[in-house]
Chains A and B, each alone.
Chain A
Amino acid sequence: MILNAEQLMMRETVAQFFAERAPISRLRALEHEPIDISYDVELWSDMVALGLTGITVPEVYDGLDFGWLGLGAIAQEAGRCLVASPLLSSVVMGQNVLLNCGSRAQIERYLPAMLSGDSTSTLALDEGRAFDPDSIVVAERAGTMSGRKIRVLDAPMCSLIFSVARRESGELGVALVSADSRGITASGRRLMDLHDSGSVVFEALQTETIEWLEGLDIRGGLQKTLDQATAVLAAEMMGTAREALERTVTFLGEREQFDVKLGTFQALQHRCAQMYCELELADSAVAAALVALDHDAQNTSSLVSSAKALANDCLTLISSESVQLHGGMGVTEEMDMGLFLKRSRVCNQLLGSSSYHRDRYARLNGF
């Protein structure tokens, strides 16, 4: 459950990189960009140059094979700076749905461009108000595919879209389409946290433009992809939570009222201590889930659900408390704490709320 020397070194490099190159001001700059620009392309190409596209990719496919625990550590550092990048959409979801659901030929055909940063991809899954991978309506019928996918991360920026849909046969499939195909409209939607959650509309998309992934176990491959993405998102959330708590504790150690530092008040100390307990508790669950992914453990899904539910609850608590403990400053745009709060609520809905994951955990454990 702890990082090896290589992973530690990678984390240090990445932490320094994000601190220097991706301060929150850079995220804020996106606000002035057109709606279809969901991340800073220059920042992304530097991330590619650091090797971040290949962290979990096996060496046979020219990846670094640093494992999910390694990628989790990188996601944590990204979370500290609220970085907007295709790390989750393309590196985790796009690449892995290809690796988990594609045939060897398909992987060899599409993966190299993703690793080199020449192409990015995303996964179009959700259709309804809440995350629910078990009710997919979009389907291929009589030679065309129509329907709408929402919460498609970085949709207008990517070149390839992997869309979960029902095939003519009724079976679940993953359709690989080029984003510029006729019949596809990918739009951006900037959420309150300034990250993108776009949509993809298929309008009589011709079946000939679709390449279905040809792996042997689509359903299993999809579940694995979602588990991987959920665990990485949970790790990112831990970085966000850790940063928010650190900023808050620092603030309380500096701000004076009643002639003393606010941090000397026991009522506030206890709230911070409580948050710290929740942080390390959730962080342990996240580490366990990442390790389970690395070992392909049998109870991985259960551990992932546990990690996401605890991460949701933890970041919700820490971000709310951090705004409160910053006092009036907490609710101003002058401070970044509001962005942490908003990011928290967006992450809650992404890849499953706490209630979703508690229910899934119960189902996986026989109750």
Chain B
Amino acid sequence: MSQDQLALFRTEVSAWLKTHCPASQRQPIVREEQIWGGRRRVFPSADAKQWFEACRDRGYTAPEWPVEYGGAGLTPEQAKILKQEMARLQCRPPLYCQGLWMLGPALLVYGSEAQKREHLSAICRGEIRWAQGYSEPSAGSDLANLKTKAEDCGDHFLVNGTKIWTTKADEADWIFCLVRTSDASPKQAGISFLLIDMASEGVSTSPIQLISGESEFCQTFFDNVQVPKANLVGELNGGWAVAKELLKHERKMMAAFDGMLEKPAMSLLELAHYAVGVDQDGRLGNSELRSDIAQHLMREQAISQLGERIYWQGKAKQSDPRLPLLMKHLGTTETQTKDELILRALGDEGLSMEDECVPEGLRKMVKQWAFNKALTIAGGTSEVQLNIIAKRALSMPTSEVKS
């Protein structure tokens, strides 16, 4: 597509967004007002519904997916322009869904035609909400050790077992799962990727109470659940490849998450000024905190500079494959450093998540501090990340213990 055509596309998109995105949907996102899909969906407001439906009808909930599956069929360049224009006009994301970010892209690669037809447009149209069933109580970092079993019963699989850290499984309609279909060795070779309707008999969920006072996650139980064979994605015992494809998109999504999450009430610097004030020279009133904040901001900035380096290397076809391996560990650790600085600055006000004498915005930051302790655990712990870096970036020798 020529530069002229792209410029024209930008003008059209911008005009369309201005016409169809209500003013209330052009505000920074607030968690309670996110639009989630699903059989039991409830729109946070009439404006939200209108905005979602406009995007849905134009394929903008999944801009890059083919039109026949409910997407808009945009090229990557066009999708980037749409994203830029939405960011510029502060349009909220029209739909939040794990199906959109993770399952869909994997189905496009590994799904059968029938699966694509059945599931992709239901995702784009916000009709079905998906959950992810990977980890198990005894398969965390060692994911391949998963034990949830899918037994071949001729016309269906019989599934028994349990999945943990299933995000919002109590509100989800379907779940995509990794299940054991063979005891073959290595363990990865006996895993299949299965789609399960949560309305099936034998599926139950139980929320997990987190230290942040929330329950984003559930444990999901499968007790003799019958799953049609048509719900197998990819080949039997070939689920690990699908899972890896999906993981790529999970990481991409995490990187793009910034604009999709609620912004804290104050930036770190605003909060520090609010909490400790300034000295007679107009500088932040606590020199140790000032120095630690400076160090954190430098590191935070350097992490995005590392991201830029990776981007420019890619553009110039000089990619250093070692660099992307560092992002998760560096990024999540730095977020936790920031949270600790917030708590330190807040002093007494940072000691309760419930006390209503403390402004709600501040309490949300305290909750975030507790919630973000999960960042260095979920999606591959920091320890696993360091293993990967030692092995793949530094080529250090492998030990006797199997990884």
Chains A and B come from one and the same complex = yes
Would you call A280 and B323 a contact (CB within 8 A)? yes
Q: What CA separation (Å) do A296 and B53 show in the bound complex?
A: 47
User: Which of A24-32, A167-175, A194-202, A264-272 is the contact stretch?
Assistant: A264-272
How near does chain B come to A340, taking the closest CB pair, in angstroms?
18
Q: Is residue A273 within 8 Å, beta carbon to beta carbon, of the partner chain?
A: yes
Q: How far is the CA of A363 from the CA of B293 in the complex (A)?
A: 12
Q: Which residues of A contact B322 (CB under 8 A)?
A: 276, 280
Q: When A1-B305, A270-B386, A281-B306 are in contact, do A358 and B397 touch as well, CB less than 8 Å? A: no
Q: Could you say which of B6-14, B183-191, B235-243, B283-291 contacts chain A?
A: B283-291
The range of chain A's interface size is 35 or more
Closest to B287 in A: A359
Report the bound CA distance from A261 to B396 in whole Å: 10
Interface check A49, CB cutoff 8 A: no
Q: What are 28 A-to-B residue pairs whose CB atoms are below 8 Å?
A: A1-B309, A249-B394, A264-B397, A266-B399, A272-B396, A273-B386, A274-B386, A276-B326, A277-B326, A277-B330, A280-B322, A280-B323, A280-B326, A281-B299, A282-B302, A284-B305, A285-B301, A287-B305, A306-B302, A309-B294, A310-B302, A355-B291, A361-B297, A362-B283, A362-B291, A362-B293, A365-B297, A367-B273
CA distance A280 to B325 in the complex (A): 11
User: Which residues of B are found within 8 Å of A361, using beta-carbon distances?
Assistant: 294, 297-298
Instruction: Check: B255 CB closer than 8 A to any chain A CB.
Output: no
Which residues B303-319 have CB closer than 8 A to chain A?
303, 305-306, 308-309, 312-313, 316, 318
Taking A272-B390, A273-B393, A362-B283 as known contacts, 8 extra A-B pairs with beta carbons closer than 8 A to each other, sorted by chain A number, are A2-B313, A253-B396, A264-B397, A276-B322, A284-B302, A284-B309, A354-B295, A367-B290
Q: Give, as a whole number of angstroms, the nearest-CB distance from A283 to chain B.
A: 8
Within the complex, the shortest CB–CB distance from B365 to chain A, in Å, comes to: 19
Interface positions of A (Cβ within 8 A of B) = 1-2, 249, 252-253, 260-261, 263-266, 269-270, 272-274, 276-277, 280-282, 284-285, 287-288, 305-306, 309-310, 354-355, 358-359, 361-363, 365, 367
Of A261, A263, A354, A363, which is within 8 A of B283 by CB? A363
The answer to whether A266 touches B299, judged by C-beta atoms less than 8 angstroms apart, is: no
Residues of A within 8 A of B330 (CB): 277, 281
B81 interface contact, C-beta 8 A: no
Which residues of B approach A to under 8 Å, CB–CB? Answer: 269, 272-273, 283-284, 290-291, 293-295, 297-299, 301-303, 305-306, 308-309, 312-313, 316, 318, 322-323, 326, 329-330, 383, 385-387, 389-391, 393-400
Chain B residue, CB-CB nearest to A360 = B294
For the complex, what is the distance from the CA of A363 to the CA of B283, rounded to whole Å? 8
Q: Which residues of A contact B323 (CB under 8 A)?
A: 280
Rounded to whole angstroms, the CA-CA distance of A270 and B396 in the bound complex is: 10
- What separation, in Å, do the CA atoms of A284 and B322 have in the docked complex? 14
